[in-house]
Every structure is written in structure tokens, then in C-alpha cells.
Structure 1
Amino acid sequence: MAATFQHKQYSPGEVIFRKGETGTFLYLVERGSVIIWVGDEADKKIIGEVETGGLFGEMAILDRQPRMANASAAGETQLLEMPASVLRQAINRADPLVVQLINVLINNLRRSAKDSEPQV
């Protein structure tokens, strides 16, 4: 599976993906860190940080829904990018109970995030 990953460098502040985009990659932080945020670039609300060794970007791949937030490099960052198809193949081989549990968790997370969004 390691051959399916591609190394990619990001500069500080460089956007990795934006809210609303299709999930095409799962990311592993090889070096550096990534902030997950909502809002616009002038008024970011940071909702999480993924440090070296952490994964992110999985939800949009697993449930085929648009990205819930933005992600950008906190500093000089190197990521390993895995195509969505590779993760989906692995999930398709998993126990159906595990797949159902993953779907329930993702649905709960999306619902919780939607409920906490400011109303305009």
C-alpha cells in the first residue's frame, strides 16, 4: 500500500483543501502540522490541528460528502497523500459491522458540526 502514497510539500499557510470540495485524498502528516479550520482566510476559526503521524481528510472519502472544513499547512509541512480509491478498497474488505460503525460515527460527527455552525 505504501506505493500508493505520494509525498507533497506545503509552505506555511498553503491550503491543502477547502470546505465543500470532493474528498480525493486521505492525508498523513509526515513532517510538520496542519490546521483544520472554518470561515474565511481573514477570520479563521481553528477547529483542530493534526501533527506529525496524524491522519486527516478521511470523512469526505468514506461518506462521499463534501469536505466539512478547510485544511492548511501550519508551517513547512510534508504530507503523504493516498488516493480515495485506495481507502475505499480497504473499507470494502472490512467487516460489515465495522463499516456500519464508521458510518454511524461519521454521521454523528457531521450532525454535531452542522448543529454547532453559526446561523447566518
Structure 2
Amino acid sequence: MSSGALIQKFGKELSAGTVLFKDGDTGKQMFVIQKGKIKISKQIDGKEKVLALLPAGEFFGEMAILNNEPRMATATVEEDCLLLVIDTKTFESMIRGNTEIALRMIKKLAQRLKEAGEQIENMLIKDNNSKVISTLAKMGENEGTQTETGIVVKATAKDLALKTGLEPDTVSEILNKVVKAKLINIQPNSITISDVTKLRKFLDFLTLKEQFGDF
């Protein structure tokens, strides 16, 4: 089936702020993002914790179909989007008829398990500086694009604030410190990491400082 036919049959346009489903809801559909961005979040200790910001090309909501259990998080439209809405019957038919789709899904689920483990580690970090820099470094390693000037991460201070659970102003203040250290450069919609290795060494320094304090 062509892309146009898929959109005509399964496509759905949604505005920013729309809640697709909430943590605990029953679910019989999964979604593929054709355009826009989706926020996956969960309430932890009364605060919203952003688990992921998914761009075009990603899918979500598949776990409710795979294990027939309630949704494990809340999905909200972060930017106006176009989604393919796939029900259980269609999903099962696609998996049976196309091993490539099944393999891609397995790889993606494995990647998300790894990212979930990294998020748990990040939640245990108490120092805000370390939390922001650790998140940025992992984003650079996992989803950054290598260029002549460094690794470009398509993220803003707001995105990092959502991922770390910190206030945007706090994140901006920390990022400005890292800019002064000449480890990153900030553009309107992205952050360029000049050298990930040096950024990691700086993070190690902050970790040691947190553990042992100033001498």
C-alpha cells in the first residue's frame, strides 16, 4: 500500500495539546508519527516525568496491543501532528505478513529498553548540572548527527527540561555554563556538542565533585 493510501485509510490529524491516551487507559490501537512530535510522560511523585519526545518516523502505543494490558504512560501531542492509527487486527496482519516490520519493531523495543535504563540512572543523579549534561551527552550518542563542527542534537532547553524534570530557566542557565566552557554551542532548534569525549570528562568531574565535595 502506498504512503498516500495509508494516510487516507489510517491517517488522523491532531492539534498540539491533544491527549491521545492516559496512563492506565485500556488500548486497542498503536500509532505511527508521520508529522509532528508526541510527548510520552508519566506522573512520578506528583510531578510529570517525560519519558520520551517522539519525532516523525517513530511509533508508540504498541505495548497495549502486544500484552493486552493498560497503557503504561500518557501520550500528548507536543506539536501538531499527522498519525497513522493502527488497530489490533491490522497490526497483527502487518506483523504476520512482513518479517521486516517485525524485526524493526524488535530492534526499536530493544533500544527503548536501553533508554529506559539510562533514564532510571539519570533519575538517581541529584546534581542538576550533572543531570542536564548526562542527558545531553546520551542524546548526542544515541540520536546526534555528526558534522564538521561536532555532534548536532535536535533539542532545545525546553526539551531537556522535559526530559530531566527541571525548570527550563534552570536548564538554560546550566547550558550557558557549558557554552562558556566551550563544550557546546546553542542554535535556535539544536545544540552542537563540540566534543562528546570532553563533555563526558566534564561530567565525570562533576560526579566526583558531588561525591567528595570541594577540597
Residue among 74, 81, 84 paired with 1:80: 84
Decide which moves more: 14-23 or 65-74. 14-23
In 2: Cα distance, 1:61 partner to 1:35 partner: 19
**Is residue 26–residue 70 contact of structure 2 (8 Å, CA) maintained in 1?**
yes
Q: Which residue does the alignment assign to 2:39?
A: 35
In 1: Cα distance, 2:49 partner to 2:79 partner: 17
**How far has the Cα of 1:86 moved from its partner?**
1.1
Matched, 1:67 2:63: no
Change (3 A) 1:47 1:70: same
In 2: Cα distance, 1:65 partner to 1:10 partner: 25
Structure of greater relative contact order (alpha carbons < 8 Å, 6+ residues apart):
1
Residue among 24, 27, 40 paired with 1:23: 27
Gaps of at least 5 residues in structure 1 are none
**How far has the Cα of 1:89 moved from its partner?**
3.0
Q: Which residue does the alignment assign to 2:176?
A: none
Change (3 A) 1:10 1:82: same
- Match of 2:80, as an amino acid? E
In 2: Cα distance, 1:72 partner to 1:34 partner: 6
In 1: Cα distance, 2:80 partner to 2:69 partner: 29
* DSSP-derived class of the 1:74 partner: strand
In 2: Cα distance, 1:9 partner to 1:43 partner: 29
In 2: Cα distance, 1:4 partner to 1:75 partner: 21
**Is residue 5–residue 81 contact of structure 1 (8 Å, CA) maintained in 2?**
no
In 2: Cα distance, 1:3 partner to 1:46 partner: 28
**How far has the Cα of 1:45 moved from its partner?**
1.0
**Is residue 62–residue 88 contact of structure 1 (8 Å, CA) maintained in 2?**
no
Change (3 A) 1:8 1:94: closer
**Is residue 13–residue 83 contact of structure 2 (8 Å, CA) maintained in 1?**
yes
**How far has the Cα of 1:43 moved from its partner?**
3.5
Larger Rg: 2
TM-score between both structures, scaled by the size of structure 1: 0.68
Pick the structure with more helix per residue. 2
* DSSP-derived class of the 1:59 partner: helix
In 2: Cα distance, 1:3 partner to 1:51 partner: 17
Q: Which residue does the alignment assign to 1:54?
A: 58
**How far has the Cα of 1:3 moved from its partner?**
7.5
